């Protein structure tokens, strides 16, 4: 596509990064997509293009990499997610906030043209309308992660309004994929359950059976991300995170759907501290603004996602 500058992904070895790097490389060319993370990456990522070991909190090294590769876009994925952040409060706040500040500052100083920073349904809280949660509503999160995402959204909006930084954001729901493992969220059960099901072992769920949460299949999340980043600036009317939605389900409904393919699969429930986190989140999301502003539309249904996950994970097991 005639790129002269590079795209940098920070936190590239995580659940989203592992897939996003490969899709960006497919679209823009391997050498123009620089993966970076504290930890090493998958073989596929390491072998197909540049990789840099980077702690996003090392401001000098971040600057050095941006200059070295002539970076004009940054996807900042490094964060501690909800369950982990409840255990490591200060570490989560430092990473989730200062990583963002350092990238926004580089954009303000003219080193970067465009920034992607993911937010989450965690910006909402127990006082938010639970079903069809609107784009603009009560946001009173009661988790460390949610507080950091809400503050981050406001900083994105501030840097856009005050300094013209082109920063874009989505409020992802729980993401489900078979290519990479999730890293410490409350919605991780919805990935782990598939691995247990194909291994033929029972699944112990840390959420109770009726906990309904919004979720999305990873190909849709990647599509939404790239669509937002490619949208003409005038269509990106919100510089806080856009609500995006696909489907919602409870652990019990997910187990029932899996049982259509693996009849002997069993689940039991043993709720832990993550139940409180999930109880504060919406059960479904209204994403009208994303649909209207830049044409978002999900492709994958709940039923298709379950079938596709099981097919792909079974190939690995057999
Ligand atoms: P993840 O935990 O799987 O990956 C995060 C990556 O960041 C890891 O590879 C980790 O090694 C890296 N990292 C941690 N500290 C770092 C540091 N100091 N410097 C550089 N890299 C560092 O997370 P994910 O699921 O890929 O999520 C990516 C982003 O999307 C996060 O901001 C998260 O809040 C957001 N998000 C994810 C989901 C989801 O369901 N996966 C939902 C909503 C929002
Ligand atoms: C988590 O559970 O922390 C994430 C999220 C919804 O932000 N998956």
Q: Which residues line ligand 1 (CB under 6 A)?
A: 10-11, 13-17, 37-39, 54-57, 77-79, 81, 95, 118, 120, 172, 174-175, 182-185, 187
Q: Between residues 131 and 181, which one has the greater pLDDT?
A: 131
| Most ligand 2 atoms within 8 A of CB, residue of 77, 82, 282 to mutate | 82
**From ligand 1's centre to the CA of 21, what distance in Å?**
13
Q: Which atom of ligand 2 is nearest to the CA of 85?
A: 3
Tokens of 113: 């043209």
182-207 pLDDT, tens digit per residue, is: 889 999 999 999 999 999 999 999 99
- Give the pLDDT confidence of 263-308 residue by residue, as tens digits: 999 999 999 999 999 999 999 999 999 999 999 999 999 999 999 9
Same domain for 71 and 95, yes or no, is: yes
- Residue ranges in the chain assigned as alpha helix (H): 15-28, 43-48, 59-68, 82-87, 89-108, 144-163, 189-199, 218-230, 251-259, 274-279, 288-294, 302-317
For the question of residue 98 being annotated catalytic, the response is no
- 47/161 same-domain check: yes
Q: Tell me the percentage of the chain whose pLDDT exceeds 70.
A: 99
Distance separating alpha carbons of residues 107 and 158, to the nearest angstrom = 13
* 3-class DSSP state of 104: helix
109-126 residue pLDDT tens: 999 999 999 999 999 999
Do 111 and 188 belong together in one domain?
no
Q: What is the structure's pLDDT at 317?
A: 62
Q: Are residues 194 and 76 in the same domain?
A: no
| pLDDT tens readout for residues 246-256 | 999 999 999 99
pLDDT on residue 2? 67
Q: Would you say residue 36 lies in a domain?
A: yes
User: Residue range 132-148: average pLDDT?
Assistant: 98
Among 294, 300, 148, 288, smallest CA distance to 218 is for 300
User: In the predicted model, is pLDDT for residue 3 greater than 80?
Assistant: no
293 domain-assigned: no
Q: In whole angstroms, what is the distance from residue 111 CA to residue 105 CA?
A: 9
H helical segments located in 33-170:
43-48, 59-68, 82-87, 89-108, 144-163
| Residue carrying structure tokens 């990935």 | 191
The pLDDT, as a whole number, for residue 183 is 86
In this structure, is residue 290 part of a structural domain? no
Q: Are residues 24 and 36 in the same domain?
A: yes
Ligand 2 mean position, distance from CA 173 (Å): 7
Q: What is the pLDDT of residue 316?
A: 74
Q: Atom 1 in ligand 2: which residue has the minimum CA distance? A: 185
Per residue in 153-187, pLDDT (tens digit) is: 999 999 999 999 999 999 999 999 999 988 899 99
Q: Are residues 152 and 49 in the same domain?
A: yes
Note whether residue 127 is domain-resident.
yes
Assigned token pair, 77: 């994925």
CB 142 within 8 A of CB 125: yes
Q: How far apart are CA 10 and CA 213, in angstroms?
A: 27
Q: Do residue 225 and residue 91 come from a single domain?
A: yes
- Ligand 2 atom with minimal separation from the 81 CA: 3
Q: Is the CB of 10 under 6 A from ligand 2?
A: no
With CA atoms as reference, report the closest residue to 15 among 178, 146, 254: 178
Residues 32 and 153 placed together within one structural domain of the fold: yes
Asked if residue 162 and residue 58 are part of one domain, the reply reads yes
Ligand 2 pocket member 187 (CB < 6 A): yes
41, part of any domain: yes
Residue 221 lies in a domain: yes
Considering the domain architecture, whether residues 59 and 76 belong to the same structural domain is answered as yes
Domain count, the chain: 2
| C-alpha 263 to ligand 1 mean position (Å) | 34
Write down the pLDDT at residue 4.
Answer: 86
pLDDT at 43: 94
- Whether pLDDT at 73 is above 80: yes
Residue 195 included in any domain: yes
Q: How far is the CA of 248 from the centre of ligand 2 (A)?
A: 14
Domain contains 43: yes
Q: What is the CATH number of the domain that holds 209?
A: 3.90.25
The CATH number given to whatever domain includes residue 95 is 3.40.50.720
Question: What sign has the CA pseudo-torsion 254, 258, 263, 268?
Answer: negative
- Cα 95 to ligand 1 centre (Å): 10
Task: Point out the catalytic residue in the list 145, 172, 178, 206.
Answer: 145
The pLDDT-based confidence of 1 (bands split at 50, 70, 90) is low
Q: Do 42 and 157 sit in the same domain of this protein?
A: yes
Q: Residue 185 has what pLDDT?
A: 97
Residue 274 token pair: 């993550």
pTM of the complete model beyond 0.85: yes
What is the span of the domain harbouring residue 193?
177-215+246-285+299-317
| Site to substitute for ligand 2 among 79, 145, 148, most atoms within 8 A of C-beta | 145
Please indicate, yes or no, whether residues 43 and 184 belong to a single structural domain of this protein: no
How many C-beta atoms lie closer than 10 Å to residue 219's C-beta? Answer: 16
Average pLDDT of the chain? 97
């Amino acid at each position: 596509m005639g790129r002269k500058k590079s795209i940098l992904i920070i936190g590239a070895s995580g659940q989203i990064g592992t897939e996003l790097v490969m899709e960006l490389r497919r679209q823009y060319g391997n050498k123009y997509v620089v993966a970076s993370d504290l930890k090493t990456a998958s073989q596929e990522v390491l072998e197909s293009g540049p990789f840099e070991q980077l702690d996003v909190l090392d401001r000098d090294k971040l600057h050095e990499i941006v200059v070295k590769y002539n970076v004009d876009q940054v996807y900042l994925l490094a964060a501690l997610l909800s369950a982990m952040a409840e255990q490591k409060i200060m570490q989560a706040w430092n990473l989730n906030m200062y990583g963002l500040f350092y990238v926004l500052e580089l954009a303000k100083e003219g080193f970067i043209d465009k920034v992607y920073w993911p937010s989450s349904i965690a910006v909402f809280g127990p006082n938010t309308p639970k079903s069809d949660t609107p784009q603009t509503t009560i946001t009173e999160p009661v988790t460390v992660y949610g507080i950091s995402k809400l503050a981050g959204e406001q900083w994105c909006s501030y840097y856009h309004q005050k300094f013209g930084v082109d920063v874009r954001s989505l409020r992802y729901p729980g993401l489900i994929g078979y290519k990479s493992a999730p890293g410490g969220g409350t919605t991780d059960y919805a990935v782990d359950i598939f691995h247990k099901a194909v291994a033929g072992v029972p699944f112990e769920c840390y959420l109770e059976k009726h906990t309904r949460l919004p979720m999305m299949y990873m190909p849709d999340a990647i599509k939404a991300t790239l669509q937002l980043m490619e949208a003409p600036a005038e269509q990106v009317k919100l510089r806080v995170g856009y609500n995006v939605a696909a489907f919602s389900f409870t652990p019990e409904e997910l187990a029932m759907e899996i049982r259509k393919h693996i009849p002997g699969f069993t689940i039991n429930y043993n709720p832990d501290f993550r139940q409180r986190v999930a109880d504060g989140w919406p059960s479904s999301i209204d994403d009208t603004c994303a649909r209207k502003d830049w044409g978002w539309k999900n492709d994958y249904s709940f039923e298709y996602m379950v079938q596709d996950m099981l097919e792909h994970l079974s190939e690995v097991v057999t």
